[in-house]
Homo-oligomer: A and B are copies of this chain.
Amino acid sequence: MVLNYKELMEKIKEVIVFQSAKAVLEWDAQTMMPPRATHMRSRQLALLSKIEHKMLTSHEIGELIEEILRNPEFESLSLEQKRNVYLSKKAFGEQSSLPEKLVAQTEKQKIIANKAWEKAKKAKKFSIFKSELEKLFKLRKEAAEILMKVKGVDTSYDALIDVFEPKMTAKAIANFFSQLKMGLIKILRKCESSSIKPERSFLKRRIPVETQRKISKELARFIGYDVESKDAGGRIDESEHPFTKGYYNDVRITIRYDENNWIRCVFSLLHEGGHGIYDQNLRAEWIYQPIGSPCSYGFHESQSRFLENIVGRSREFWKYFLPKLNKITNNAFSDVDLDSFVLGINRVRPSKIRVDADEVTYCLHIIIRFEIEKGLFKDEISVSELPAVWSQKYEEYLGLEIKHDSEGVLQDVHWSLGLFGYFPSYALGNIYSGQILNAIEKEMPGWKVDIANGDFRRVKKWLTRKIYHYGNLYDPQDLIERVTGEKINVEPFLNYLNKKYSNLYLP
């Protein structure tokens, strides 16, 4: 029995080692690869995906799982061992259910659709993207329908949501989102009707890329994301779209530096750094085991958004960091006082681009995407209707008129990569982050004093002990309850926003 378990873990370890190797090639494609190598790289990644699929769906793994589950000694396994078996079974069952041909076709179509999306976005024309997206959507829907049966969930969309946020459903999300929407719009109206008008011209100041790199390094030091020492386990690089790829001792975040939008580098670094320290601080003994991975995409996002927003847009953080910033930039902001600075970076105003949205309106962008995805998978919306539906919803929820597809339906890369069901994670991350904040406030009332002193260590230790070290031992809804003592709910996040923005916008 124990022997079977060990054997299964050896097989799974190989898959995980393989996946971690593949991740380096994906990172390289966005950061280092010579442009001419694009075609070669897509071949390499398609092949590696195929091999990964084969490894994960091997008969040996299937049989080992069967034997372990049939064995009466199964009950004597530890919680961690049982979870490893459960996660292996889940991954094996799902992957095996997908025909190899479908997997290969999807991999290929992702590359084609992503290229078409890039072209369409540049040309501001959805029509260039449409037919490739239709094909990709069809393939994803086919997979979703298979996975729906395997997972035993109600809808094909639920099957995809479960990929990113296990056990979550569109119905539950719709419920959270409707509460969220009401709460957010109330806060938004309050801000809009306030006589306070944040001054933001200092965000327009030109800061050279070289200086921004120094800002990034200073921020990395603050969160303890080591890229400099002889034992460093991280990197900061540059890419078109910021992202994080990593596993334990090899974690890589990327930033895009824009001389004319320096603040973006700050929030990007904190956001990706939040992802990075999660990946770096998983429990060392669990490396190469299924439980040695982050809990879910929503949980991952809770960490990045906690760092970016709850910490990074707080008055306490800037009390510490504004003098640092002035030192690095040669006093580029010495004329801006702390309160004006904090108000400026926290201005609330509906905007068309999700990644530039403020904390209050951000989730509205997500809700729009969620409703559209739901409609797509229910066949209530067709791919060709996307631009029209998009515009109508932005008008309705944010009061904005979308002028062309690139500031509308083409703004996000996700669908071009087949990532349907991913968007809700961002809003779930915000919801979790509110609950986590509550727990921290209760258990470490003085934590904000630490931040004002530039000391993130105590908070990081808490997050490590309470979240990172649990890896994938629990499903997200169980983990949030264990961490905070409460079921997932939107109240803490709304309360946080309400309190923060009432203060900021109090005339």
CB within 8 Å of B: which residues of A?
14, 17-18, 20-21, 24-25, 28, 32-37, 39-41, 43-45, 47-48, 51, 227, 230-235, 247-252
Contacts and interface: CB of A to CB of B under 8 A. Distances in A.
A116 B249 CA distance: 22
Contacts of A44: 17-18, 20-21, 24
A337 B250 CA distance: 50
Nearest to A46: B17
Given A24-B25, A25-B24, A25-B25, A17 B43 contact: yes
26 contacts: A17-B40, A17-B44, A20-B40, A20-B44, A21-B47, A24-B25, A25-B25, A28-B28, A32-B235, A33-B250, A34-B227, A34-B232, A34-B234, A34-B235, A34-B250, A34-B251, A35-B230, A35-B232, A35-B233, A36-B232, A36-B233, A37-B233, A37-B250, A40-B248, A41-B250, A51-B51
A232 B45 CA distance: 20
A249 B36 contact: yes
A352 to B, nearest CB: 29
A253 to B, nearest CB: 11
Q: Most chain-B CB neighbours within 10 Å: which of A25, A32, A51, A233? A: A32
A47 B52 CA distance: 12
Most buried by B among A43, A48, A234: A43
A36 B251 CA distance: 10
A57 B96 CA distance: 26
Given A40-B249, A249-B40, A25 B21 contact: yes
Given A24-B25, A36-B232, A232-B36, A14 B249 contact: no
B36 A250 contact: yes
A113 to B, nearest CB: 22
Contacts of A48: 18, 21
Nearest to A248: B40
A130 B285 CA distance: 33
Contacts of A235: 32, 34
B17 A47 contact: yes
A231 B21 contact: no
Given A20-B40, A24-B25, A32 B32 contact: yes
Contact of A24 (B14, B24, B230, B233): B24
A446 to B, nearest CB: 32
Contacts of A14: 47
A158 to B, nearest CB: 35
B47 A18 contact: yes
A17 B40 CA distance: 8
A291 to B, nearest CB: 18
A269 to B, nearest CB: 17
A20 B34 CA distance: 14
A24 B34 contact: no
Contact of A40 (B32, B45, B247): B247
Contacts of A227: 34
Contacts of A36: 231-233, 249-250
A233 B232 CA distance: 30
A237 to B, nearest CB: 8
A244 to B, nearest CB: 13
A56 to B, nearest CB: 14
Contacts of A25: 21, 24-25
Contact of A34 (B32, B35, B249): B249
A149 B227 CA distance: 50
A328 to B, nearest CB: 20
Contacts of A35: 230-233
Contacts of A39: 249
Given A24-B25, A34-B234, 16 more contacts: A14-B47, A17-B44, A18-B47, A18-B48, A20-B40, A25-B25, A28-B28, A34-B227, A34-B235, A34-B249, A34-B250, A34-B252, A39-B249, A40-B247, A40-B248, A41-B250
A226 to B, nearest CB: 8
A235 to B, nearest CB: 6
Interface centre among A17, A18, A40, A41 (most CB of B within 10 A): A40
A16 to B, nearest CB: 10
A21 B25 CA distance: 7
Contacts of A252: 34
User: Which of A14, A36, A43 has the largest count of B CB atoms less than 10 A from its CB?
Assistant: A36
Nearest to A47: B17
A126 B35 CA distance: 44
Contacts of A24: 24-25, 28, 44
